[in-house]
Structure 1
């Protein structure tokens, strides 16, 4: 069987990104905030309440893509430089827009954290604000609460890069062991049984400090999603490798044990089904490779960064003019921000990333617009 080229863009994944970002937007625009932010004449469907799980779909895609990116880098330093060069332009543009727009239009002061210059700065470092808050007693926050997942992504990049360049051939085995053990340990530390077991051994104060610190490293909580993506990447190039299939199923079972509740469990099974179709019946997902969806998928990072607080403020300010029809505002926002994301990527982020790439790598090579997103 011929090997697939590792340089080809996998457009179905871009379509999946659109599914993920729309899930998250539906959640934030219809369910995540209370009546003081927005109120509709009808009760949103329960599925909208579960839209936050779109972030987990992003994590699975990230596990797949980062595994591919690692194979195209010659060192850990090169890998991390490329990741930062991908993240920085959109973060700079979208965080500045959020900061500026909310200072101008958030007259109801729904999101005061977005008006802080200190929060703008800490957000652009990709450092979880909880870390300096814990160690230095400051009160920093993300300029948009959705940014929490970026710190989680960056922690994954660091760990995946270290494990890969320590031993490329043993990457999957080593990272799978680490990810599963860390996910189990995180679950124990943050469960009642962990408190009951460890508190008498190390003292309640020390244990609670460890528990608080663990929440600053959310990659451990979400590790199994990233690991699913890594295994799916390996299966993409070795479709009938039975040990890999068994490992994927084992990860899904363990994930279900941790999740416990119905909708997240159903979501996990749907994600498994989606990627099995991606691996073995990709023709059934060909609609996800639609040109418009691909463009929106490539821009989904920008859309994610700008959508939450800006979008909620827009809904809040415009709702009095729409009355009982204010439920259409989120739909218009989803379309408008998708357009913004595509334009921002094409005319701002990509050119800025290209210039930064030349500066950092001191060469004129074109920044790849491939799967490295």
Structure 2
């Protein structure tokens, strides 16, 4: 399996580059004038699909973690130790430097806004439950809230019913979400809003990753394919409704790209090159800090740099600096904090990836 894991590290690198491209050149065109020239270029416009790549990678590696865990609690502890240190460091970094970027309202350096990230809970859900208005320290944290609930659910299914019920079990929250519009008309709006914020619509992507892993280990059954195909239909219909029928093409491309990477040596080799794996190594911390710090810096630079031509290159410069910060977090700060939380003094071997 080792070569495959290497190429998954490279795929994490590719996924974060896609997301950065989307944020720098498409997502914030109203704030960054140069992006009006790039926002409709498909490679940038569909860069958000990098997150779905992360979800498929998470789905693939989750059984490895489950199989190595002795209990539900030990599994959750492993996942928490994997995700919390970088989230804590990134949240603190965004909190302390947030005041340097008054130009962008999405910077929300208030103490209460540290909470959603640190407990991996959607701020809108927290606001609904407490009546206090919370925001994330960074917009990109949303996918970690989705990952956290996914871990809670798949771990519960695996340790209660066994692995063969994991895929059917993951379909249940998706069906619950599909039924939610009916429930809403019956008059349970708050309940539905809470459900909608858990990100169940994305579970089909985790399921694709799970299924590829099971296929690699000869455990795939026809029923699994039917369940995952049904889940993907639910997911695709959601995107068609919100973004139009043409969105199906990039969604399919990303899904097939992930699957094909396990069958074509050439793809595996390309994804395993040092460029991708080095970015993949720091991809989790990079993902957490990139959007707010990059966009806020670009808005600031845009005041002084009047040339759109020069501004088009600035995201590469800014992202490179942020990569090195993410690298230092991943290589030094994260293992140090993880060992403190474990009560160890020995430096840990660095782990890689965005939430996986």
Match of 2:23 in 1: 28
Match of 2:173 in 1: 182
2:351 matches 1:369: yes
**Which of the numbers 225, 229, 234 marks the counterpart of 2:209?**
229
Structure 1 distance, partners of 2:27, 2:198, is 23
Q: CA deviation at 1:364?
A: 6.6
Structure 1 distance, partners of 2:124, 2:36, is 36
Structure 1 distance, partners of 2:35, 2:129, is 45
2:112 matches 1:118: yes
Structure 2 distance, partners of 1:254, 1:127, is 24
Secondary structure of 1:280's aligned partner:
coil
Structure 2 distance, partners of 1:282, 1:250, is 29
Q: Per the alignment, do residues 212 and 249 of structure 1 end up closer, same or farther by CA in structure 2, a change over 3 Å counting?
A: closer
**Which of the numbers 32, 50, 75 marks the counterpart of 1:54?**
50
Q: Per the alignment, do residues 281 and 239 of structure 1 end up closer, same or farther by CA in structure 2, a change over 3 Å counting?
A: farther
Larger deviation, residues 247-256 vs 124-133: 247-256
2:101 matches 1:106: yes
**C-alpha deviations, 1:294-313, integer Å up to 9, x for none?**
12112111001001111111
Q: CA deviation at 1:242?
A: 6.0
Q: CA deviation at 1:282?
A: 3.2
**Which of the numbers 12, 15, 20 marks the counterpart of 1:17?**
12
Match of 1:356 in 2: 341
User: Which structure: larger Rg?
Assistant: 1
**C-alpha deviations, 1:212-248, integer Å up to 9, x for none?**
1212321x12111111111111112229866655655
Structure 2: gaps of 5 or more residues: none
Structure 1: gaps of 5 or more residues: none
Structure 2 distance, partners of 1:278, 1:138, is 45
Aligned partners of 1:232 and 1:248 also within 8 Å: no
Structure 2 distance, partners of 1:41, 1:276, is 32
Match of 1:140 in 2: 134
Match of 1:267 in 2: 250
Q: Per the alignment, do residues 239 and 290 of structure 1 end up closer, same or farther by CA in structure 2, a change over 3 Å counting?
A: farther
Aligned partners of 1:235 and 1:279 also within 8 Å: no
Q: Calculate the TM-score normalised by the size of structure 2.
A: 0.88
Structure 2 distance, partners of 1:150, 1:322, is 34
Q: Per the alignment, do residues 138 and 242 of structure 1 end up closer, same or farther by CA in structure 2, a change over 3 Å counting?
A: closer
Aligned partners of 2:49 and 2:254 also within 8 Å: no
Q: Calculate the TM-score normalised by the size of structure 1.
A: 0.84
Q: CA deviation at 1:338?
A: 2.1
2:152 matches 1:158: yes
**Which of the numbers 52, 64, 69 marks the counterpart of 1:68?**
64
What is the root-mean-square deviation in Å for CA atoms of aligned residues?
A: 2.7
Aligned partners of 1:98 and 1:306 also within 8 Å: yes
Aligned partners of 1:111 and 1:309 also within 8 Å: yes
Q: CA deviation at 1:125?
A: 1.8
Structure 2 distance, partners of 1:151, 1:239, is 29
Secondary structure of 1:327's aligned partner:
helix
Structure 1 distance, partners of 2:167, 2:192, is 23
Q: Per the alignment, do residues 322 and 254 of structure 1 end up closer, same or farther by CA in structure 2, a change over 3 Å counting?
A: same
**C-alpha deviations, 1:53-111, integer Å up to 9, x for none?**
211111111111112111111111111111111111111111111111121x2132523
Q: Per the alignment, do residues 284 and 51 of structure 1 end up closer, same or farther by CA in structure 2, a change over 3 Å counting?
A: closer
Aligned partners of 1:358 and 1:364 also within 8 Å: no
Match of 1:319 in 2: 302
Match of 2:263 in 1: 280
